[in-house]
Structure 1
Amino acid sequence: MDGRGSDLVQLAVHLRDSLSCLDSVRSPRVQRVSAGRRDHQVPLLVTTRAAPMALGGVTEMTNSEVRSIAVRIEARLQSIAEHEAAIRIDLEALASLTSPAADDHLLDVSAAAQWLGVSRATMFRLLRTDTHLRHVKVGKRTLFRPDDLRSYAARQVAS
């Protein structure tokens, strides 16, 4: 959230907290809102008069107007809290997902040869001559699934 959003949230919290004492407020109050390196003074002018009155560009508000604004802000803060809770649940669900197993990827010829304990030349010879050695061609690349290499090695040991 940017600095302005933070200022608004702080102001909204202040408005919510000051709702209970609105009737006793007689003079303008100043709320200090911090935004990063600078502080802003936000006038919170409350009066019991029915009509708003302009004072040097600042409009005084009636208690009902302030309450109305505070209620809207409170509803928006509640909505933000609900969205934040939903986002946290989604993040926890993502974090709980397991990453692919270490052998869940395809091996190239060099890695497969190393896995079987043979040279690259032997691996290429096996590709040409042994029909039991399963592989996948992706473009010009020859790739092997670790499960296929395991079953191939088990067959070689058994024979």
Structure 2
Amino acid sequence: MSRSANEFHLKPLHKAHYMNNMAEIEIPKGNSPTETAARWLGKGDLRPTRQRVALAELLIGDGRHRHVTAESLYEAAREGGVSVSLATVYNTLRAFCEVGLMQEVTVNGTRSYFDTNTHEHPHFYWEDDGVLSDAPAERLHIIGLPPAPEGAEVASVDVVIRLRRR
């Protein structure tokens, strides 16, 4: 028996997705996960297609921020009874990033995670199990950067702190 997306949205996609989520939540509150998802999509001026709403419900339907990979979101969607292809999940996550609803965090130049918290903040990456979580920003102090090359400016600085268990 498959669960509906509405039933599934409350289950964490991974146990660490709720760790360190202390940032301000700018996820609009709706009367239901579907309404919350539709409002969130509206912030990005995205048309609320059936698949976008279903994926948005999994991402932010309960008002919490998450870090996901396309594969983990695809698996959660399939487990929740959402009919969607992996290519559609990738395209949807990229569309969410393009309109500023999410940000992409690349680890080791090969693995992409997608974060619903779009404020600038550092991340912990657990090498042992491939989990990305928010790191407390208040303890990170960058006192200087090398100058940008002639004709360029620094667009952003991404901080990913890699961890492994002892």
The TM-score with structure 2 as length reference comes to 0.16
Q: Greater CA radius of gyration, 1 or 2? A: 1
**Higher share of residues assigned helix:** 1
Q: TM-score, normalised by structure 1?
A: 0.17
For CA contacts below 8 A with separation 6 or more, give which structure has more relative contact order.
Answer: 2
